């Protein structure tokens, strides 16, 4: 059964069962591979996307629940002011090591800065707690979020 998705401002018809995780519709149905599969149970954050501006784990959202909503993936987040600021801070502070988790980290950071333009360390830790980085670049992630917030102020 085809579902219509609005992903990164474009309409896509995806012919997958309604209980298919949004992650697979994005990756396999549409062909956007920046959103990563990590755990499949919404615990690692690698699959984070925005639905109507809110950071969500796309591996746990059924396709039927995403239809008719605005979905933003890592491929498009850099078109927003917050997205550009976060991506620039990530580059300046050399946050990435292996890079696997970074799309999810960036998506969560962008949503955090939308809700809290001047986050404290505690705010950052709380917002980013569901994003796992096996390379343990957490200190650089926090620093990059602070830098992005400063540059957006």
**pLDDT tens track for 58-92:** 999 999 999 999 999 999 999 999 999 999 999 99
Q: Which part of the chain is CATH 3.10.20.30?
A: 2-76
DSSP-derived pairing of the beta strands 70-72 and 2-7: parallel
CATH fold group of domain 78-152: DNA polymerase; domain 1 (1.10.150)
For the purposes of burial, counting CB atoms within 10 Å of the CB of 75, is it exposed (0-12), middle (13-18) or buried (19 or more)?
Answer: middle
| pTM greater than 0.85 | yes
**Closest among 106, 95, 101 to 134, alpha carbons compared:** 101
Number of Cβ within 10 Å of residue 42's Cβ equals 17
Tokens 């639905």 sit on residue: 51
pLDDT-derived band of residue 1, with 50, 70 and 90 as boundaries?
Answer: low
> Is residue 112 classed as helix, strand or coil in its secondary structure?
helix
**pLDDT tens track for 123-152:** 999 999 989 999 999 999 999 999 999 999
**Closest among 61, 31, 49, 153 to 105, alpha carbons compared:** 49
Please give the CATH architecture assigned to the domain spanning 2-76.
Roll (3.10)
């Amino acid at each position: 059964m085809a579902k219509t998705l609005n992903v990164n401002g474009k309409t896509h018809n995806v012919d997958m069962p309604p209980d298919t995780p949004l992650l697979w519709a994005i990756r396999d149905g549409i062909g956007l591979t920046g959103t990563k599969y990590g755990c499949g149970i919404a615990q690692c954050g690698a699959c984070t996307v925005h639905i109507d501006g809110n950071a969500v784990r796309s591996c746990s959202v059924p396709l039927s629940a995403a239809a008719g909503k605005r979905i933003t993936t890592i491929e498009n987040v850099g078109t927003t002011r917050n997205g550009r600021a976060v991506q620039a801070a990530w580059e300046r502070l050399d946050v990435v090591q292996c890079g696997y988790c970074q799309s999810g980290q960036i998506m969560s950071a962008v949503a955090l800065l939308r809700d809290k333009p001047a986050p404290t360390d505690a705010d950052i830790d709380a917002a980013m707690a569901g994003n796992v980085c096996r390379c343990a670049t957490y200190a650089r992630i926090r620093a990059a979020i602070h830098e992005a917030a400063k540059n957006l102020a």
